[in-house]
Amino acid sequence: MHVVVLTKSTPDTAAKVSVEGGTVTWKEAMVLNPWDEYAVTEAVLLKEAHKVKATVMTLGKEEHGEALKQGIAIGCDQGIRIWDDGLEGHDSLLYARSVAAAVQKLGDASLVIFGKEFSDTNTDQHVYQVARKLGWTVLGSVAKILEIDFGAGTIKVERLLEQGKQIVTSKLPVVIAVLKDINEPKYPSFIGIRKASKADIPVWGLADLGVDAGSLKTKVTALAEPPKREGEVEMITGDSAAQIAATLADKLLEDKVL
């Protein structure tokens, strides 16, 4: 029995990102994708509560190994990095085919956890594509795992949707994407840090996974910075709160905001 959590290194959310010569650049160090702090913590909590194995996995070049080390430091048993020159410029479909193959290669995985999205690309289609390629049920927006029984192969979760909460039960194996509400992210432990710094992280290539890269279905042809937002600040003053409010309301109507 085995829980797999997928992650990657992303620029710190405070990093100043810009596009130069067609590539995205920033100076700051990479961090564990912020959404994945919850996913990794959930995997470690499940490991502790259910005595299952927790593996943290990524698809990417060496810098993504940092996210794996962070995962091990927080408490995952092992890290696996998927990379191959053939994955250069991969789209989310090739990502999904490779990750699904890696999960299958582990043999005994019955739960795959993702953070809500990748904070660098603001995308989450990879979650659903991985589930599709595995042929597993997918549950997005999971705010709580209410029950899980690895032996019996069942899970009950609470999903937080725009319409409200939804309680769903399903048979394992499933792929879930978790929200911030699910837990209080754990810090790495010192013992975990030592384990991580000594960890040997295997790299699985396309041949190991039996995946043929084929031709990409989507390609990024150009990158550009979004136009700078222009705005003006106007301080509204007046003798009383009522007067200030009235002036503000007039302005908002005038500018067609209301």
The yes or no reply on residue 190 touching other proteins (CB under 8 A) is yes
Region 160-189 residues binding other proteins, contact defined as CB under 8 A: 187-189
Q: How far is the CB of 13 from other proteins (least distance, A)?
A: 14
Region 50-69 residues binding other proteins, contact defined as CB under 8 A: 69
Q: How far is the CB of 11 from other proteins (least distance, A)?
A: 16
Q: How far is the CB of 186 from other proteins (least distance, A)?
A: 10
Question: Nearer Cβ to other proteins, position 113 or 199?
Answer: 199
The yes or no reply on residue 11 touching other proteins (CB under 8 A) is no
- With CB under 8 A as the contact rule, the residue among 106, 168, 193, 213 that binds other proteins is 193
The yes or no reply on residue 14 touching other proteins (CB under 8 A) is no
The piece of 41-49, 149-157, 193-201, 207-215 that touches other proteins (CB under 8 A) is 193-201
Q: State the SS3 of the chain.
A: CEEEEECCEEECCCCCCEEECCEEECCCCEEECHHHHHHHHHHHHHHHHHCCEEEEEEECCHHHHHHHHHHHHHCCCEEEEECCHHHCCCCHHHHHHHHHHHHHHHCCEEEEEEECCECCCCECHHHHHHHHHHCCEEEEEEEEEEEEECCCCEEEEEEEECCEEEEEEEECCEEEEECHHHCCCCCCCHHHHHHHHHCCCCEECHHHHCCCCCCCCCCCCCCCCCCCCCCCCCCCCCCCHHHHHHHHHHHHHHCCCC
The yes or no reply on residue 196 touching other proteins (CB under 8 A) is yes
Q: How far is the CB of 70 from other proteins (least distance, A)?
A: 8
Q: How far is the CB of 190 from other proteins (least distance, A)?
A: 4
Binding site for other proteins (CB under 8 A): 69-70, 73, 187-191, 193-194, 196-197
